[in-house]
């Protein structure tokens, strides 16, 4: 039965991928369906935005919540495209990459790369586009639902060579020592002993220090991967953040500052949908 559900979901996602983007994001019924689906997440989005931007007036914050929910619908289409479109279709997208020479140089020298990304709404598409230029691997937290995990896995393997469970640190180390590029998203509350208390938009939160430790162990490159959807064009940016490695505390501080800087460029494109402050301020989600 589970396999039947998986195939039905995959069929639906493929069907969506052939619909014109403008029709999908502007269709009244499609918007209503996703608005209902986002109802629970909207509460989390609002809590995060209110917590991070308490200095802004309520009108500004309410608009950002609405803009984020609207942007999420377009992101669903684009990420679905990443999971289902042909390579030819992805190549035809209008995009530009800055900093790709950093990955080129690392590959030339057979140096591993830990490529940190913030959870923007278009992360699946960003990985698919990047995979046109370099072979990449990715760390992930397996979904609690086996059905959703199967669908995610099938879609994500269009972009990456393999998916590494976030508990499999030994495999991560081995791949980096063998010169591989690993995508890693550090901007969530993982609630483990490898995290420290830092700040995000001036609010206390848990920040993982795994990238710091892994970089020290493997001597790999530490880069930051950013992505924006601009009008008619996607922008990918890769930068070197190895200067953040003085200490775990300094790393966490500078990483969060880097992510804040990215968010402020297009705050409606950040994934505000997760409980970023669930350890330090759980009551904001009540």
Distance, CA of 222 to CA of 211 (rounded, Å): 8
Compute the half-sphere exposure of residue 103: CA atoms within 13 Å on the CB side of its CA: 23
**DSSP symbol at 281:** -
pTM value? 0.92
**Mean pLDDT of the region 270-276:** 97
pLDDT at 37: 79
Ramachandran region of residue 250, left (φ > 0), alpha (ψ -120 to 50) or beta? alpha
Give the per-residue pLDDT at 168: 94
Cβ-based neighbours of 257, under 8 Å, separated by 6 or more: none
8-65 pLDDT per residue, tens: 666 677 777 778 888 888 887 878 888 887 888 999 999 999 999 999 999 999 999 9
Query: What residue spans define the domains of the chain?
Result: 2-285
Which residues lie below 8 Å from residue 244, measured CB to CB, with a gap of 6+? 212, 222, 250, 251, 254, 255, 258
At 167-198, the pLDDT tens digits run 899 999 999 999 999 999 999 998 878 999 99
Over residues 80-110, the pLDDT tens digits come to: 999 999 999 999 999 999 999 999 999 999 9
Question: CA-to-CA distance for 64 and 114, rounded, in angstroms?
Answer: 31
List of residues 6+ apart from 139 with CB closer than 8 A: 163, 164, 165, 166, 172, 182, 183, 184, 185
Predicted pLDDT at 4:
62
Please check the confidence at residue 1 and state whether its pLDDT lies above 60: no
pLDDT tens per residue across span 111-156: 999 999 999 999 999 999 999 999 999 999 888 888 788 888 888 9
Average pLDDT, the chain: 93
Q: What is residue 193's predicted lDDT score, i.e. its pLDDT?
A: 80
Give the orientation angle of helix 58-84 with respect to helix 2-17, to 10 degrees.
100
């Amino acid at each position: 039965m589970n396999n039947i559900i998986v195939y039905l979901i995959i069929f639906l996602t493929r069907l969506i991928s052939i619909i014109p983007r403008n029709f999908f994001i502007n269709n009244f019924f499609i918007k209503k369906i996703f608005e209902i689906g986002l109802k629970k997440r909207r509460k989390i989005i609002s809590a995060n935005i209110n917590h991070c931007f308490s200095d802004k007036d309520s009108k500004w914050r309410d608009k950002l919540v609405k803009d984020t929910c609207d942007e999420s619908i377009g992101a669903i289409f684009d990420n679905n495209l990443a999971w289902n479109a042909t390579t030819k279709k992805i190549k035809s997208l209008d995009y530009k990459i800055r900093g790709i020479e950093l990955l080129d140089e690392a590959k030339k020298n057979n140096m591993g790369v830990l490529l940190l990304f913030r959870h923007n709404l278009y992360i699946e598409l960003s990985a698919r586009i990047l995979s046109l230029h370099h072979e990449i691997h990715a760390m992930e937290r397996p979904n609690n639902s086996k059905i959703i995990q199967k669908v995610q896995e099938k879609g994500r393997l269009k972009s990456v060579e393999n998916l590494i469970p976030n508990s499999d640190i030994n495999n991560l180390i081995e791949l980096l020592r063998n010169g591989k590029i690993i995508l890693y998203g550090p901007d969530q509350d993982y609630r483990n002993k490898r995290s420290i208390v830092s700040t995000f938009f001036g609010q206390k939160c848990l920040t993982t220090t795994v990238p710091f430790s892994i970089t020290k162990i493997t001597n790999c490159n530490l880069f930051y991967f950013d992505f924006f959807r601009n009008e008619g064009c996607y922008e990918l940016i890769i930068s070197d953040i190895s200067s953040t490695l003085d200490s775990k505390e300094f790393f966490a501080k500078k990483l969060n500052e880097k992510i804040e800087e990215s968010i402020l460029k297009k705050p409606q494109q950040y994934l505000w949908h997760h409980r970023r402050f669930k350890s330090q301020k759980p009551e904001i989600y009540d």
